Amino acid sequence: MRRAPLSDIRIDTLRDAVAVRLETTSLRETARQIGLSPSGLSKFVTGSTPYPKTVRKLRSWYRLYVAKAEEVSAADVERALETMVLALPVRDRAQVRKRLILVLRDGWEPNVPPWLRAESLR
């Protein structure tokens, strides 16, 4: 799969990705990871127009952040799903697994990654 050039990654897409990241980590940690100051990242998240250098850093970070999701394989997902349902009664595992897959696909819409579209994930 060929990726779009960094310059094609829109500011609103970057802002959304940072907001998602901030749900699981601190502003300081995210700013450090991107290479920005916490105050600069805070201003960006709240809607200020970023400087070109900031946009370049954000786009580079985004490419790395998204690349991790693209590197996941269907086999990785299979193993993770099996681990998640392992403690359930055997009779319930298949149904819960199917529901988890549907929830994940709904969350990724409209850009469901290949590893989540795999035929093996039924």
Residues 6+ apart with CB under 8 A from 92: 85
pLDDT of residue 1: 45
Which strand (E) or helix (H) includes residue 3? none
For 75-90, write each residue's pLDDT tens digit.
Answer: 888 899 999 999 999 9
Cα-Cα-Cα-Cα dihedral of 51, 30, 61, 113, to 10°?
A: -130
Indicate the domain borders of the chain. 6-70, 74-117
Q: pTM of this prediction? A: 0.58
Smallest CA-to-CA distance from 80 within 119, 115, 117 is with 115
CATH topology of domain 6-70: 434 Repressor (Amino-terminal Domain) (1.10.260)
